[in-house]
Structure 1
Amino acid sequence: MNQRARIAMSDDEVTAFLEGSRKLQLATINPDGTPHLVTMFYGLDEGRIAFWTYAKAQKARNLARDPRVSCLVEAGEDYAELRGVLLYGTAARVDDRDRVLSIGLAIARRMTPGVADELLLPYVEKTGAKRVAYVVERTKVVSWDHRRLT
C-alpha cells in the first residue's frame, strides 16, 4: 500500500472529522480567476458543509457567477499530527428564510459550544436578515491523517 492510501481517511472518519471541527478555509473564484480564500465557521446540513454570509460579500458575488468551491478543514500543529479533509464541490444557494436561519443556528452552536439556543436565536435572527446560506454538494473528497505514519 502506498503512503497516500495509508493516510487517507475512511468515509466514516471523514464524517466524524467534519462533525468534530468548527472552521474551514473556503475558496471561491474571483472575477479575474484568482482564488478568494476566507476562514468560515460552518455547520452541517444532512452531512453536507453549510455556511452563511452576507448577501453582498465577495464570496456571495463570486458564487453567483461560479458556484465551484474548495473547503479545507484541518487540524494538528506538527507534521506527524496533521489531519485534514479537502472537499471540492458546488455551493447551492439557500434563500428560504427558515432554512437560512436553521443553518445560521447550526453555525452559531459551533461558534459558541454550550450556549443555549434561546441565547443564540436573537443573534441568528438579527444577522440572518442580511444573510444567505449555502450547502456544498461535494464532487471530490481528499483526506489525510499523518498520525498513521508513526
Structure 2
Amino acid sequence: MTAPKQQRRSRRIAMTPDEVTAFLDSERTVRVATNGTNGPHATPLWYLWDGEFLWLTSLSRSQRWTDLMADPRIAAVVDAGHDDYSQLRGVEIRGTVEVVGEVPRTGEPNPDLARVEQAFADRYTAGHVVIDGRHAWLRLRPEKISSWDFRKIPQG
C-alpha cells in the first residue's frame, strides 16, 4: 500500500501517527462527505480505524451509498474540542472507498471482516456483532491524512 501524502500546512500543530490513532480511537463519530449528482452530501457515521484503513458501515440503500458507487472518492472528518478554541483538534482523511463483503451484509464468512466486525461491535454494541441485512462495509483507503491539535499552539 502507498503511504498517505503528508500534510504540508500547519505541521507544527499536526498530530503524530500515534496521536492520530489515539484520537481516532477515543472519538466515536465521523462525518463523511461524498460527491453526488446534486453536489456534496455530508453525513455522520460510526467508524473503526485500524491504523491503516478507516472502516465504515453504511446502509446499502442510501444516498451516501449511491454516491460512493458512482464516485468512490470520500472525505472523512473526526473532530473534537468544540467548546474552546484552544482545544480544537481533529483528523481529516481523504481517499477512496472499496466495498468489502456482500451487499447488503448477510454474514457470509469473510476473513477481511471477521476482526473488523468484532472490533466494531466491541466499540459500539457491547461486543454483539449486528448483521441486519441492510448495511454493508466500506474500507476507506487513505490518500491524504491531515490533522490539527490547537493544544500545541503556545498560549500567550
- TM-score interval w.r.t. the shorter chain? 0.7 to 0.9
In structure 1, what is the Cα distance between the partners aligned to 2:117 and 2:67? 20
Q: How does 1:19-30 map to 2 (within 5 A)?
A: 19-30=25-36
Q: Root-mean-square deviation (CA), in Å?
A: 2.0
Match of 1:137 among 128, 135, 141: 141
Q: Are 1:37 and 2:50 an aligned pair?
A: no
- What is the CA deviation profile of residues 39-62 of structure 1, one whole-angstrom value per residue up to 9, with x for unaligned ones? 111113453110111211111111
Counterpart residue number, 1:110: 123
Q: How does 1:65-84 map to 2 (within 5 A)?
A: 65-76=70-81, 77-84=83-90
Alpha carbons 1:71, 1:86 under 8 Å: kept: yes
Q: Name the structure where helix makes up a greater proportion of residues.
A: 1
Match of 1:52 among 49, 57, 61: 57
> What fraction of aligned residue pairs are identical, expressed as a percent?
33
| Structure-2 change in CA distance of 1:6 and 1:42 (3 Å) | same
TM-score between the two structures when normalised by the length of structure 1: 0.81
Structure 1 ranges of 4+ moved more than 6 A: none
- Number of residue pairs the alignment of both structures matches: 138
Tell me the SS of whatever aligns to 1:56: coil
TM-score between the two structures when normalised by the length of structure 2: 0.79
Alpha carbons 2:14, 2:149 under 8 Å: kept: yes
What runs of 5+ residues in structure 1 fail to find an aligned partner?
A: none
